[in-house]
């Protein structure tokens, strides 16, 4: 991977002037991903915060080819672009020796939920596309509605906190696990650890097949924390093992944990600064913390078992 | 070398696709279209095409992948039917709005519920406002010729719109007809190379496609798209004429059959045209001045041509295989009526919805439509505007 000095001299193909919120994780993810690409990639986006804020006609923040089609089909659109690359190379209309990097960047709504089928289709067919999900755990674009990625107990505008119900009733979908079952290169990353994420992007782009990277992307508006804490919240997500850093290679066989905290922090460290979990700390609601912690532990232990098995 | 061989409508479409040898085909199987994608997959397997075939997991993804491929500058074809076209519906609008010259072969089948795999035109007539060019074929030869023409029409720099080639399921898709197939080289020369003005793969000159477009620009974008569709009529005509000059077959935008001195006429599209022609011949031999107006190009709707063909008719019936529940009349009928109003021409016009869900539309039924028209022509009075052919229990 390029050194920090080299990276500082590289042109970022995403400009300022976009309309994203202060403290938004999306442009941080984009900048890191673009810097990791060996050359200008083709960006495909489902409808999401980043899309409606970065490409508002007659402007664009993208200095690289960009295509948005609909909400649920970015992976299918990217499959078609990749098929075009192959076809045009075969006919000598494109330089066969040149690599074309195709990167989908979608939110969790367009990835975990409505775009899930198209994503599965793309991964199963093995198109050479990197799909990055900036995982902010809700439909932020439409105003913080629960998604398949929303954590247990979290307040959203479709999982309210009241007498009868305390936030979202289900745990979040483990999408990396599902993606890995397709045999793709899969990684979990977090924007506070740019070096880890960029290494994974570089690896994915050089992978002869589909890849999927889920990156933790704390949303100040939706998670209810001050906008200067985006990176710190991401760090806490990883230090508590709520959002561990790992990668899966060898068609789902090899699981590697990239970072193991020296002292795994209790989940309250992650929950407390976020307004969406404020009710966890009210009287008689301790069970929410316990249930949340238990699920984090279950998944972390499971991941460790997989990593151990892969290493044997 | 040109040759005449027996092919079904689906087979004829697949043969045209083989000769076009598109860069990308993204498709999903559905009855009665499946034979097209199956045949084409054989061509891919035997290496007679160099196409990248993307066997997607749904029709929604088929049309999405087609958009991606077309935006990347690849010549792109797909095919579907019925529920598949309905599942694509959202992306059909986007393909037209983003000006992707995709060719879609739609084998007309009805829409659920109740589920039914047989022919009517509810699927593509229901997609009439998606911004696509729609061409309806009468038989398998026309399917073959129109698929080849469609590539040229879609990619014409003045058009840059997707084209839907429609053929009636089973009636045309599964019946074998003798088809005159052109020489491979002739087809290649006719369709030529696709030279897109912009491509997503041009990383040195990046383009941004599919932007969010707010009220200050949206209306103008949509109008320019609608304008391109209106203007495409000239290109559809000239491509058809060039095809005719080279290969001896052309179809026009509409075709009047024995209309010159006709007093009564059936206006229809797809395979019903053929049956109506046969009934017209029979009636003519009995001295009845009957005729047929075939609408081949339904979008853009050929207002001038339809009105010119009907202006001296005493009574006409629009026959179509689709309902528009709750509307003043079904789609094609309403369009013909609108066209007449545009030009201030009055014709006693009635509607016949026929053949829903694959119910046969035999000659004897079409004869009854003509009998109805004769009554209107002689009395000068329309007794009933909306009619349902061979519907049990309907009076």
For residue B394, is it within any domain?
A: no
B153 and B182 in one domain?
A: yes
Tell me the nearest-neighbour CA distance from A32 into chain B, angstroms. 19
In this structure, chain B runs to a length of 395
Does B47 lie at the interface with A, CB-CB under 8 angstroms?
A: no
Mean pLDDT, residues B174-197: 97
Helices B331-342, B303-310: crossing angle, 10 deg rounding: 80
Tokens of A33: 């991903």
> Which phi and psi (to 5°) does residue B249 adopt?
-135, 125
Report the Cα A249 to chain-centroid distance in Å.
18
pLDDT digits (tens, 9 = 90+) for B88-140: 999 999 999 999 999 999 999 999 999 999 999 999 999 999 999 999 999 99
Closest residue to A87, CB basis, from B51, B91, B207:
B51
For residue A168, is it within any domain?
A: no
Closest residue to B210, CB basis, from A67, A86, A93:
A67
Closest residue in A to B72 (Cα) is A81
pLDDT digits (tens, 9 = 90+) for B311-344: 999 999 999 999 999 999 999 999 999 999 999 9
Kindly list the residues from chain A whose CB atom is less than 8 angstroms away from the CB atom of residue B44: none
pLDDT band at B236 (very low <50, low <70, confident <90, very high): very high
β-strand partners of B76: B24
- Cβ contact, residue pair B212, A56, below 8 Å: yes
Q: Cα separation of B125 and B318, whole Å?
A: 14
Kindly list the residues from chain B whose CB atom is less than 8 angstroms away from the CB atom of residue A69: 64, 67-68, 91, 94, 98, 210
For residue B35, is it within any domain?
A: yes
| CATH classification of the domain holding A257 | 3.40.50.970
Kindly list the residues from chain A whose CB atom is less than 8 angstroms away from the CB atom of residue B94: 69-70
DSSP string, B104-164: EEEEE---SSSP--S--SHHHHTTTTSS-EEEE-SSHHHHHHHHHHHHHHHH-TTT---EE
- C-alpha dihedral over B3, B8, B12, B15, to 10 degrees? -80
Kindly list the residues from chain A whose CB atom is less than 8 angstroms away from the CB atom of residue B208: 55, 60, 62, 65-66
For residue B395, is it within any domain?
A: no
pLDDT at A208: 94
- Which of A242, A272, A223, A189 is CA-nearest to residue A23? A223
pLDDT at B394: 87
Q: Mutating which of A78, A83, A98, A115 best tests the B interface, going by the most B Cβ atoms within 10 A? A: A83
Q: Cα separation of A277 and A264, whole Å?
A: 20
pLDDT at B125: 98
For residue A149, is it within any domain?
A: no
Q: Cα separation of A63 and A40, whole Å?
A: 8
B375 and B267 in one domain?
A: yes
Q: Which residue has the tokens 């019946």?
A: B175
Does B76 lie at the interface with A, CB-CB under 8 angstroms?
A: yes
Residue B20: give the domain boundaries: 3-247
Tell me the nearest-neighbour CA distance from B26 into chain A, angstroms. 8
pLDDT at A307: 98
- Cβ contact, residue pair B65, A90, below 8 Å: no
B150 and B243 in one domain?
A: yes
B181 and B148 in one domain?
A: yes
Write the burial class of residue A5 (CB in 10 Å: 0-12 exposed, 13-18 middle, 19+ buried): exposed
pLDDT at B147: 99
If one counts the domains in chain B, the total is 2
Q: Report helix, strand or coil for B375.
A: helix
B239 and B373 in one domain?
A: no
| CATH classification of the domain holding B36 | 3.40.50.970
Q: Mutating which of B26, B50, B61 best tests the A interface, going by the most A Cβ atoms within 10 A? A: B61
- Which of A70, A34, A28 is CA-nearest to residue A52? A70
Does B54 lie at the interface with A, CB-CB under 8 angstroms?
A: yes
For residue A122, is it within any domain?
A: yes
With left for phi above 0 and alpha for psi between -120 and 50, is residue B363 left, alpha or beta?
A: alpha
pLDDT at A155: 98
For residue A1, is it within any domain?
A: no
Mean pLDDT, residues B200-216: 97
B139 and B23 in one domain?
A: yes
β-strand partners of B290: B264
For residue B87, is it within any domain?
A: yes
Tell me the nearest-neighbour CA distance from B336 into chain A, angstroms. 34
pLDDT at A109: 97
Q: Which residue has the tokens 């990046």?
A: B206
DSSP string, B206-246: --EES-B--HHHHHHHHHHHHHHHHHHHHHHHHHHHHHHHH
B148 and B70 in one domain?
A: yes
Please provide the distance, in angstroms rounded to a whole number, between the alpha carbons at the two ends of chain B.
Answer: 55
Q: Report helix, strand or coil for A129.
A: coil
For residue B393, is it within any domain?
A: no
Tell me the nearest-neighbour CA distance from A107 into chain B, angstroms. 16
Q: Cα separation of B229 and B219, whole Å?
A: 15
B378 and B342 in one domain?
A: yes
B221 and B118 in one domain?
A: yes
Report the Cα A293 to chain-centroid distance in Å.
22
If one counts the domains in chain A, the total is 1
For residue A7, is it within any domain?
A: no
Closest residue to B24, CB basis, from A52, A75, A87:
A87
DSSP conformation class of A266: P
DSSP conformation class of A167: S
pLDDT band at A154 (very low <50, low <70, confident <90, very high): very high
Last residue of one domain, picked from the residues B196, B228, B247: B247
Residue A43: give the domain boundaries: 20-143+173-311
Q: Mutating which of A14, A69, A71 best tests the B interface, going by the most B Cβ atoms within 10 A? A: A69
Residues 6 or more apart whose CB falls under 8 angstroms from that of B114 comprise: B357
Q: Cα separation of B187 and B217, whole Å?
A: 40
Dmax over Cα atoms in chain A, in whole Å?
A: 69
- Cβ contact, residue pair A81, B203, below 8 Å: no
- Average pLDDT of the residues of chain A: 97
For residue A4, is it within any domain?
A: no
pLDDT band at B395 (very low <50, low <70, confident <90, very high): confident
Tell me the nearest-neighbour CA distance from B68 into chain A, angstroms. 5
- Cβ contact, residue pair B206, A40, below 8 Å: yes
Closest residue in A to B98 (Cα) is A69
Tokens of B178: 């003798």
Assess contact for B13 and B43: CB atoms under 8 A: no
ipTM of the complex: 0.97
- Average pLDDT of the residues of chain B: 98
Last residue of one domain, picked from the residues B225, B247, B269: B247
Mean pLDDT, residues A299-306: 98
Last residue of one domain, picked from the residues B181, B213, B247: B247
| CATH classification of the domain holding B345 | 3.40.50.920
- Cβ contact, residue pair B26, A83, below 8 Å: yes
H-run or E-run covering B53: strand B52-55
Q: Report helix, strand or coil for B105.
A: strand
For residue A164, is it within any domain?
A: no
Kindly list the residues from chain B whose CB atom is less than 8 angstroms away from the CB atom of residue A86: 52
For residue B271, is it within any domain?
A: yes
B77 and B140 in one domain?
A: yes
- Cβ contact, residue pair B200, A67, below 8 Å: yes
CB < 8 Å from A in window 120-159 of B: none
Report the Cα A69 to chain-centroid distance in Å.
20
pLDDT digits (tens, 9 = 90+) for B335-354: 999 999 999 999 999 999 99
For residue A76, is it within any domain?
A: yes
pLDDT at A2: 86
Closest residue to A80, CB basis, from B54, B98, B212:
B54
B162 and B111 in one domain?
A: yes
- Cβ contact, residue pair A79, B50, below 8 Å: no
Kindly list the residues from chain A whose CB atom is less than 8 angstroms away from the CB atom of residue B56: 76, 79, 121, 125
pLDDT digits (tens, 9 = 90+) for A174-212: 999 999 999 999 999 999 999 999 999 999 999 999 999
């Amino acid at each position: 991977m390029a050194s920090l000095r080299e990276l500082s001299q590289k042109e970022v193909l995403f400009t300022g002037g976009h309309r994203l919120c202060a403290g938004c994780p999306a442009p941080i993810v984009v900048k890191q991903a673009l810097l990791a690409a060996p050359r200008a990639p083709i960006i495909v986006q489902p409808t999401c915060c980043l899309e409606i804020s970065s490409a508002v006609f007659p402007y664009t923040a993208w200095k690289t080819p960009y295509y948005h089609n609909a909400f649920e089909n970015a992976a299918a659109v990217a499959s078609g672009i990749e098929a075009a690359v192959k076809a045009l190379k075969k006919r000598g209309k494109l330089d066969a020796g040149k690599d074309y990097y195709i990167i989908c960047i979608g939110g969790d709504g367009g990835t975990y939920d409505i775009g899930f089928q198209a994503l599965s289709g793309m991964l199963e067919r093995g198109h050479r596309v990197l799909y990055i999900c900036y995982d902010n755990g809700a439909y932020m674009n439409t105003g913080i509605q629960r998604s398949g990625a929303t954590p247990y107990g979290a307040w959203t505008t479709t999982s309210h906190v009241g007498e009868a119900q305390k936030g979202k009733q289900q745990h979040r979908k483990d999408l990396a696990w599902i993606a890995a079952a397709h045999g793709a290169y899969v990684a979990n990353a977090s924007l506070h650890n740019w070096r880890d994420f960029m290494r994974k992007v570089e690896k994915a782009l050089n992978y002869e097949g589909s890849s999927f990277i889920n990156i933790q992307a704390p949303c100040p508006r939706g998670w209810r924390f001050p906008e200067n804490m985006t990176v710190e919240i991401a760090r806490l997500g990883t230090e508590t093992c709520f959002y561990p850093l790992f990668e899966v290679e060898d068609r789902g066989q090899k699981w590697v944990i990239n970072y193991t905290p020296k002292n795994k922090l209790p989940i309250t460290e992650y929950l407390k600064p976020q307004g969406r979990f404020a009710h966890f700390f009210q009287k008689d609601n301790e069970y929410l913390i316990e249930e949340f912690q238990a699920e984090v532990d279950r998944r972390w232990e499971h991941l460790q078992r997989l990593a151990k098995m892969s290493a044997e | 070398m040109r040759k005449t061989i027996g092919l079904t409508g689906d087979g004829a479409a697949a043969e045209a696709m083989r000769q076009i040898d598109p860069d990308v085909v993204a498709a999903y199987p559905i009855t009665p279209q499946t034979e097209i994608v199956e045949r084409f997959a054989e061509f891919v397997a035997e290496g007679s095409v160099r196409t990248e075939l993307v066997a997607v997991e749904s029709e929604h993804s088929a049309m999405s992948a087609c958009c991606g491929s077309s935006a990347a500058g690849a010549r792109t074809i797909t095919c579907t039917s019925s529920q598949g076209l309905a599942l694509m519906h959202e992306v059909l609008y986007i393909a037209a709005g983003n000006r992707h010259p995709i060719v879609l072969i739609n084998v007309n089948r009805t829409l659920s519920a109740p589920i039914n795999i047989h022919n009517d035109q509810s699927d593509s007539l229901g997609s009439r406002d998606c911004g696509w060019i729609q061409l309806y074929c009468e038989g398998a030869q026309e399917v073959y010729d129109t698929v080849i023409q469609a590539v040229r029409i879609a990619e014409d720099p003045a058009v840059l719109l997707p084209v839907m080639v429609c053929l009636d399921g089973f009636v045309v898709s599964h019946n074998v007809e003798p088809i005159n197939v052109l020489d491979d080289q002739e087809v290649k020369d006719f369709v030529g190379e696709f030279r897109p003005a912009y491509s997503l793969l041009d990383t040195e000159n990046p383009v941004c496609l599919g932007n969010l477009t707010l009220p200050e620009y949206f209306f103008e974008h949509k109008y320019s798209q609608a304008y391109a569709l209106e203007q495409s009529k000239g290109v559809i005509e000239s491509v058809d004429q060039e095809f005719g000059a080279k290969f001896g077959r052309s179809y026009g935008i509409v075709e009047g059959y024995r209309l010159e001195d006709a007093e009564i006429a059936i206006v229809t599209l797809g395979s019903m045209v053929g049956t109506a022609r046969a009934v017209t011949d029979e009636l003519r031999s009995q001295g009845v001045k009957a005729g047929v107006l075939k609408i081949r190009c339904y979008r853009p709707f050929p207002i001038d041509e339809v009105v010119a063909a009907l202006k001296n008719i005493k009574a006409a019936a629009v026959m179509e295989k689709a309902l528009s529940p709750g509307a003043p009349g079904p789609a094609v009928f309403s369009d013909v009526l609108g066209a007449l109003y545009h030009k201030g021409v009055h014709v006693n016009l009635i509607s016949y919805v026929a053949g829903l869900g694959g119910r046969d539309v035999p000659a004897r039924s079409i004869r009854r439509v003509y009998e109805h028209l004769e009554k209107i022509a002689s009395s000068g009075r329309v007794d009933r505007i909306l009619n349902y052919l061979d519907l049990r229990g309907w009076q």
